[in-house]
């Protein structure tokens, strides 16, 4: 019997369009003999909507990046007798039961534990990290402090909250981190809101932009080195893919370089780092995965410095699944095809849900 997979995508974050692209790639790759796909788009106002599973999500009439259709049927996820169903918001008509949710909302409200918390309340199996792993993986400040505590090397950084903005000094930051340095929102991904800063005027512009997306900003030293990435897959016994390298033909790996301009960056898989360094990347990726209490999947991003030191840049618990995304490409290079990767992620989601269901939740008999 085929399982019904609910792909949840879109959302209210600055990564809405990236999420739509990831959802379409997953929809196309899921084995139609094994799964029925239900496309659940969250529009930019936060309304859940039933998308047309027979039409490409990437279709756009005006040439802009794809978005969730805000005119589609509005839905409300509820739990009934231990099973997840979808109901129309203006009626009580039961629509479809979802066996496993595949959340692919990148960024705020999707990758930060918010959606994972909702799915846990619904007692629904879902792909990827739980509430804790998602939350700490999203917050770059907390992430880096936990990695540092685990003995994993990270770049030097300063965290600035919105109420401290007037106290920020370019000279102080430059003395602490050297120049250039980077300014980025703590709780966002896909290089949204990131700026390379070389002077006081650029700092003001960077802060103004970054604080549009978050109330907490990370100011981080520039780490010169090769940019490596490694995919991790599993629950209790996670495995790491071969490492890949991103060669950026721009100032840094920006949003446009990742998702729009296919010539702005070059992916080299596997990375030409030698067997010993590749093994170190894999071991460090798994250690970071475990340190942040991740489950299911994550992509770990590194800098490899000229002296051979590995620096973890960040960890993404819901990495991109677009046609040019590193996470699935790294597993393909490791011998796991895109469809088989999706199968394994769904298996891991069911495995985790069944183990959680076996835990005792009340005292006494």
Q: Which two tokens stand for residue 268?
A: 């080299």
Q: Under CATH, what is the fold of the domain 3-126?
A: Rossmann fold (3.40.50)
- Residues 125, 350 contacting (CB under 8 angstroms): yes
* Nearest CA among 194, 160, 168, 154 for reference residue 309: 154
Q: Where in the chain is the domain with CATH 3.30.470.20?
A: 136-153+224-355
Q: What are phi and psi of 333, to 5 degrees?
A: -70, -20
| pLDDT at 213 (0 to 100) | 85
| pLDDT at 53 (0 to 100) | 76
| pLDDT at 100 (0 to 100) | 95
Q: Does domain 136-153+224-355 have CATH number 3.40.50.150?
A: no
Q: Where in the chain is the domain with CATH 3.40.50.20?
A: 3-126
Q: Where in the chain is the domain with CATH 3.30.1490.20?
A: 157-221
CA distances from 33 to 30, 36, 101, 310 (A): 9, 8, 18, 43
CA distances from 106 to 20, 144, 327 (A): 10, 19, 14
| pLDDT at 283 (0 to 100) | 98
| pLDDT at 51 (0 to 100) | 87
| pLDDT at 75 (0 to 100) | 81
Element of type H or E holding 17: helix 16-29
Whole-prediction pTM: 0.90
| CA–CA distance, 256 with 265 (Å, rounded to integer) | 10
| pLDDT at 323 (0 to 100) | 75
- Residues 196, 250 contacting (CB under 8 angstroms): no
Q: Which residues contact 284 (CB under 8 A, 6 or more apart)?
A: 152, 300, 302, 310, 312
Partner residues linked to 182 by β-bridges: 196, 220
CA dihedral 129, 112, 261, 332 (to 10 degrees): 0
Q: Under CATH, what is the fold of the domain 157-221?
A: Dna Ligase; domain 1 (3.30.1490)
Angle between helices 338-357 and 16-29 (to 10 degrees): 100
User: Tens of pLDDT along the chain (365 residues)?
Assistant: 899 999 999 998 878 888 999 999 999 999 999 999 999 999 999 989 988 877 788 875 555 678 888 888 788 777 765 566 666 655 555 667 899 999 999 988 899 999 999 999 989 999 999 999 999 999 999 999 999 999 999 999 999 999 999 899 999 999 999 999 999 999 876 567 799 999 999 999 999 999 998 899 999 999 999 999 999 999 999 999 999 999 976 655 555 555 555 566 788 999 999 999 999 999 999 999 999 999 999 999 999 999 999 999 999 999 999 878 899 999 999 999 999 999 999 999 999 999 988 887 776 65
* Nearest CA among 330, 332, 144, 139 for reference residue 246: 330
Which pairs from 351-354 meet CB under 8 Å and 24+ separation? 351/235, 352/125, 352/130, 352/235, 352/295, 352/296, 353/124, 353/125, 353/126
Q: Provide the 3-class DSSP secondary structure of residue 329.
A: helix
């Amino acid at each position: 019997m085929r399982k019904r997979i609910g792909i949840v995508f879109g959302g209210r974050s600055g990564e809405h369009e990236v999420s739509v692209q990831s959802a379409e790639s997953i929809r196309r790759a899921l084995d139609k003999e094994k799964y029925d796909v239900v496309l659940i788009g969250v529009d930019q106002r936060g309304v859940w909507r039933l998308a047309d599973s027979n039409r490409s999500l990437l279709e756009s009439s005006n040439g802009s990046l794809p978005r969730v259709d805000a005119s589609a049927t509005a839905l409300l996820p509820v739990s009934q007798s231990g099973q997840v169903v979808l109901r129309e918001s203006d009626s009580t008509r039961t629509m479809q039961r979802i066996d496993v949710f595949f959340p692919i909302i990148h960024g705020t409200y999707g990758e930060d534990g918010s959606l994972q918390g909702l799915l846990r309340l619904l007692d629904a199996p879902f792909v990827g990290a739980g509430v804790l792993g998602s939350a700490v993986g999203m917050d770059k400040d907390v992430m880096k402090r936990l990695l540092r505590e685990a003995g994993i090397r990270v770049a030097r950084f300063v965290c600035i909250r919105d109420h401290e903005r007037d106290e920020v000094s370019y000279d102080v930051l430059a003395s602490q981190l050297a120049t250039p340095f980077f300014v980025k929102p703590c709780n966002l991904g896909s290089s949204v809101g990131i700026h390379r800063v070389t002077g006081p005027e650029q700092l003001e512009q960077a802060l103004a932009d970054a604080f549009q997306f978050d109330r907490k900003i990370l100011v981080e030293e520039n780490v010169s080195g090769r940019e490596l990435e490694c995919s991790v897959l599993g629950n209790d016994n996670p495995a790491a893919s071969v490492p890949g390298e991103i060669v950026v033909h721009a100032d840094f790996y920006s949003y446009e370089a990742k998702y729009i301009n296919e010539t702005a960056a070059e992916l080299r898989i596997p990375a030409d780092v030698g067997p010993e360094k590749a093994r170190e990347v894999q071991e460090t990726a798994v250690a970071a995965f475990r340190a942040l209490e991740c489950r299911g999947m994550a992509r770990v991003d590194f800098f490899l410095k000229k002296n051979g030191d590995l620096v973890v840049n960040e960890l993404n618990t819901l990495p991109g699944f677009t046609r040019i995304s590193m996470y699935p490409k790294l597993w393909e290079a490791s011998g796991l095809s895109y469809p088989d990767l999706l199968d394994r992620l769904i298996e891991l989601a069911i495995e985790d849900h069944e183990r959680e269901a076996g835990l005792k939740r009340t005292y006494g008999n």
